[in-house]
Amino acid sequence: MAFSIALAGKGGTGKTTVAGLLIKYLIKKGQSPVLAVDADSNANLNEVLGLEITDTLGQAREDMKKGNVPNGMTKDVFMSMRLEESVIESGDYDLVVMGQPEGAGCYCAANTLLTNFLDRLQENYPYIVMDNEAGMEHVSRMTTHNVDALLIVTDASRRGLQAAVRIDGLAKNLNVGVGRSYVIINQVRAGKAPEAAVEILKDAGIELGGVLPEDDAVYDYDLKGRPTVELPEDNPVVKAAYEIFGRILETETAETGEKAK
């Protein structure tokens, strides 16, 4: 069964960049293929990975809902075909983009097929990395498998940390069996989490996964539209991220006895 890691955080915290670095880390550790799922309605994980979006699961659902099914083909067969076409393959990892939220009308049949497809798809990968918006509504579609680890990305501001605490509470209220939550504080100037931030997380019962330093190279890559997964491994953000991921996965796998790397 795939080990699933979901990322969440309010906009502007670098959540998607961290998701890309996690995929980079897992590939480096020989855990390919990785299934990357972009569940943010403002999809941009593909830009971090350097891929072009050719289709989305949401568009497949819309096509079925609108009746755009060829003559002689059942809706189930059509939906299965469209969902398979929506998987963007790229060597060591595959990417699926959830797409925009549903419009008006009933999507029960399409969403059931979508959930079943995601369940089947997960069986082919040792790790799943799901990039979510703060609301995390898309995670609730993955009903069969739990979210093993939730990484909440924030900045060091009090408002950002309070948002991280709310996200943790929301995730635990969803029926997806969220395991342990970790907060990653990003863009830290001093390279060390402020004591006030540590206290906020401690009071909320959320573990601090680690901190990532502020770094001009990350901003430069983003500004120029370069995939941040191409950052060199001696970059301070990449090195710090690798250390964080290593500690978290060591903790998680020590408890489950699975995929220790």
Q: What is the mean pLDDT of each run of 10 residues along the chain (261 residues)?
A: 88 93 97 91 90 87 81 85 89 87 57 72 90 71 67 93 91 78 92 87 94 95 94 97 96 66 46
Two tokens, residue 105: 């009308």
What pLDDT, on the 0 to 100 scale, is given for residue 175? Answer: 67
What pLDDT, on the 0 to 100 scale, is given for residue 102? Answer: 62
Helix (H, G, I), strand (E, B) or coil at 254: helix
Three-state SS sequence of 76-129: HHHHHHHHHHCCEEECCEEEEECCCCCCCCCCHHHHHHHHHHHHHHHCCCCEEE
pLDDT tens-digit series, residues 143-194? 435 788 999 999 999 999 999 999 998 888 876 678 889 999 999 987 788 8
Question: What pTM, to 2 d.p., does this model score?
Answer: 0.89
Domains and CATH numbers, the chain: 3-256 (3.40.50.300)
Query: How buried is residue 180: exposed, middle or buried, by Cβ count under 10 Å (0-12/13-18/19+)?
Result: middle
Contacts of 255 (CB under 8 A, 6+ apart): none
